[in-house]
Amino acid sequence: MTSYGNKLDTLIDLTQEMYGNMRCVEL
């Protein structure tokens, strides 16, 4: 359960980072 939670948090962090980078590129 804990391992799954950590993977989920990492996935969210990567998604937010990618989304932030795309926004920077658009601007």
Residue type, 13: D
Looking at residue 2, its pLDDT comes to 67
pLDDT digits (tens, 9 = 90+) for 1-27: 568 888 999 999 999 998 888 877 766
Reported pTM: 0.54
Distance between CA atoms of 4 and 27, rounded to whole angstroms? 35
Q: Is the four-CA dihedral 10, 12, 15, 18 of positive or negative sign? A: negative
Quick one: pLDDT at residue 1? 54
Please calculate the CA angle 6-21-18 and round it to the nearest 5 degrees: 30
The closest of 4, 25, 23, 3 to 15, measured between CA atoms, is 23
